[in-house]
Amino acid sequence: MRKYEMLRAVVILQAVCMVVLTVVVVIKVWPGNERQLDQQPQTNVGSEEDPADPSKPGADSSEMADGRRVVARVGKVMITAAELKSELQKQYGEAVLRTLMVHKAIDLEAAASGLNISAEEQSRELKKLAEGYESESRYYEVMQEQLGMNKEQVQEDLRYRLLLEEIAVRSVDVSDEEVDRYIADHPEEFEARTQLHLQWIMTETSREANTVLGLLADGEDFAELARTYSVDAFTADAGGDLGLIDEDDPFYDRDMLDTASRLQIAEMAGPLKVDGGFAVIRLIERQMTTNLTGSRLHEAVRKQLALERADSLTEMEDKLLIKYDAMKTE
């Protein structure tokens, strides 16, 4: 999958997680609110004893404001369920709805074309995704922690991605000669190697880097601190994200990469002296590619070349939505 498409998928997953959070709020908070409201004594509306008055210091977050259920309170200001739903709809509604519609369209196309993803293929792809983590179970734990997705949701999302790729490449012809030529011309792509996905915050002095480490130890967000403190103009706005770097990349400081290679996922280190200042680094993931051979190598290269020639996955989604007359009804 192209890198920008993977980033888009992550954003959509985060949006889905926000909707799940809303459901949790509805389930966990509202029923309890109803019980508390039912137990409150009856009072005359507008009287001094009215407990539903949000301006009263003792008003509970479960009380009503303007006829709407209150799910949170900041001082005397109430936040209602309607406000929460409206804000989530504005921020994430379109993305989540599109994802649901795309999944339905993929299901229809797969059924019409007789396409399916075998358990072996899905397992093989999952192992690739989990490379760089201590174990496959640790990979699932990280997905739960970072995206709020459980094991079943991760597998389901992968299944849809693989199905969409199959739909995209089914009409693209790649000859055996093209596959062999690509392998011969790009041997470095198929050597076993390790890549590190890093974030960093670069400061001018060691003292400033130590200050950043203190803030991180207090629970501050790494990306936000990078935007605030990092003097590296190329990565600060992106939360200090350096992307995937070969473990032996000659363009990065050797000591920094050696330190990063010893980190566990999500672990941080610093201050590290680098060209231009001092760095605090964080390992996001470690990807280790294995040396494919034989038919497995040819299969992977054929798919890679086909995906490069095919419509992008976003364009394919659009075509499927048009083909199956997808539309919003309100």
What does the pLDDT look like over 289-329, one tens digit per residue? 666 667 888 888 999 999 999 999 999 999 999 999 999 88
Lowest model confidence (mean pLDDT) among 63-67, 217-221, 222-226: 63-67
pLDDT for 279 equals 95
Element housing 80 (H / E):
strand 77-80
Model confidence, pTM: 0.54
Cα-based distances in Å from 203 to 12, 153, 222, 223: 33, 39, 14, 14
Q: How confident is the model at residue 62 (pLDDT cuts 50, 70, 90)?
A: very low
> In the predicted model, what is the mean pLDDT of residues 112-131?
87
Predicted confidence (pLDDT) at residue 136 exceeds the cutoff of 70: yes
Residue 61, helix vs strand vs coil: coil
User: What is the pLDDT at residue 58?
Assistant: 47
User: Please, which pLDDT band fits residue 132 given cuts at 50, 70 and 90?
Assistant: low
pLDDT at 247: 86
The pair phi, psi for residue 272, each rounded to 5°, is -120, 130
pLDDT of 29 higher than 70? no
Half-sphere exposure of residue 116, counting CA atoms within 13 Å on the CB side?
5
Predicted pLDDT at 134: 65
pLDDT in tens, 141-163: 888 887 788 999 999 999 999 99
